[in-house]
Amino acid sequence: METLGRGRLSRRLVLCWAFWGLCLASSDYDDYSQNITNEQVTTPEIAPFPRAIPGEKVTINNVTYLLVPEAVRSQLGSAVTVRLVPCLYTLVFLVGLPSNGLALWVLATRAEKLTSTVFLMNLAAADLLLVLVLPFKIFYYFLGNHWPFGEGLCRLTTAFFYGNMYCSVLLLTCISVDRYLAVVHPFFSRSFRTPAFAAATCTAIWLCAAVLTLPLTLQQQSYPLYAAGVTLCHDVLPRHEDDGYYFYYFVCLIACAFLAPLVVMLFSYCSVLRALLRSGKRYSYSMKLTALVLFTLVAFYTPSNVLLLVHYSSYNSKLYGNLYISYMVSLAISTFNSCADPFVYYYVSEDFRDKVRRRFFSHRKQNTTSLKTSKETLPQKSSKDSLV
């Protein structure tokens, strides 16, 4: 009997040990799975991200969706995104379309083909193309960040938007260098400051802008947002897709198409201002307008590019893109430069305004005399409305 009792006790101890081991195994498994869940939610992989909110890819029924946190989704549907941003673009479109269209028409048909005229024509064309892209973005934001025009048009709109914007910056740089050569080194630059050379330079700039934005046309830009019923265009992109590729691409774009041109323009216009200051009060009005050129450039283009650099350097922005809403607002503000260019570079010229008035408010026969733009010659005493 004693032996039988010891056997039963041994079996009970074995069962107790086995049950306790199963409990520990189950407990360890639950803790591990919970830790994985927490890591996925709170510590996603850090990756530099291109001008967009990072999202997670989910494929359901052969359709790829993007997932974003609820806080991000509420930001995308906020009044800033679906009201303020499209209203800013609408204002740019209403002002920029007629002003740039009229300027381009006058420069192409009524102005003598001088070096400055070639640069100004291309600047007006770049600003006009940028303005013509805005209706697609206006509808997109007014529809609540919904892109109904298809993937191909999303890629083209994105590439045209950034391409023409940076093309305008490069053309503004060429205009500043042209003014620098004409004012500071007039005799040295006379031999190569020709319309043909200006046309070749503009062609190179258009090709450069096309190459800089080519990657945007080669990558998918539109994705449907999961359980939201909207398709986003460029605002949300997959987190882990070509992270390093996009990082180096956009850093190169900022350096080559904004920072370097900004340094060149600052040097050129500061040199022009210094040369004008040495001439006394004769060019005081031109100095004010030259300072206005620098102010509009810095005021409109700097915020969006600074926010983009902060976006790359900020830990939270790399993870969640929480600066992107501010970046979209600053990007919309930067398009106001397309509205300012016609008034700073074209309509400031008294000769230009007179040509427009005679065209639309006079029935007399127009002569074919050359039109001196505000960028070609040094301002004379009789005209204070010229800008060097």
CATH of the domain at 127: 1.20.1070.10
Percent helix, strand and coil across the chain, each to the nearest 5: 70, 5, 25
CA triplet 222, 225, 230: central angle to 5 degrees?
A: 80
Asked whether residue 18 is domain-assigned, the answer is: no
What is the domain count for the chain?
Answer: 1
Asked whether residue 194 is domain-assigned, the answer is: yes
Asked whether residue 114 is domain-assigned, the answer is: yes
Tokens of 130: 């940028």
| Residue 219 banded pLDDT, cuts 50, 70, 90 | confident
Asked whether residue 257 is domain-assigned, the answer is: yes
DSSP letter, residue 365 = P
Q: How far apart are CA 5 and CA 328, in angstroms?
A: 80
Which of 306, 286, 288 has its CA nearest to residue 298? 306
Asked whether residue 337 is domain-assigned, the answer is: yes
Which of 262, 357, 304, 260 has its CA nearest to residue 161? 304
Q: Which pLDDT tens digit goes with each residue over 328-382? A: 899 999 999 998 888 888 777 777 777 777 766 664 444 444 444 444 433 333 3
Q: Residues 77, 145: contact at Cβ < 8 Å?
A: yes
Average pLDDT of the residues of the chain: 76
Q: How far apart are CA 381 and CA 77, in angstroms?
A: 55
Strand segments (E) across the chain: 53-60, 63-67, 222-224, 231-233, 236-238
Asked whether residue 23 is domain-assigned, the answer is: no
- CA dihedral defined by 131, 135, 137, 139, rounded to 10 degrees? 160
Helix axes 284-313, 324-334, angle to 10 degrees: 160
Asked whether residue 174 is domain-assigned, the answer is: yes
How high is the pLDDT of residue 192? 86
Asked whether residue 173 is domain-assigned, the answer is: yes
Which of 72, 93, 113, 264 has its CA nearest to residue 178? 264
Q: Which pLDDT tens digit goes with each residue over 264-318? A: 998 998 888 888 777 765 666 777 777 788 888 888 988 888 887 776 555 555 5
Tokens of 22: 């199963």
Q: Which pLDDT tens digit goes with each residue over 88-112? A: 999 999 999 999 998 898 888 877 8
Question: Residue 136 is part of which domain span?
Answer: 53-361
DSSP letter, residue 150 = -
pTM of the model as a whole: 0.77
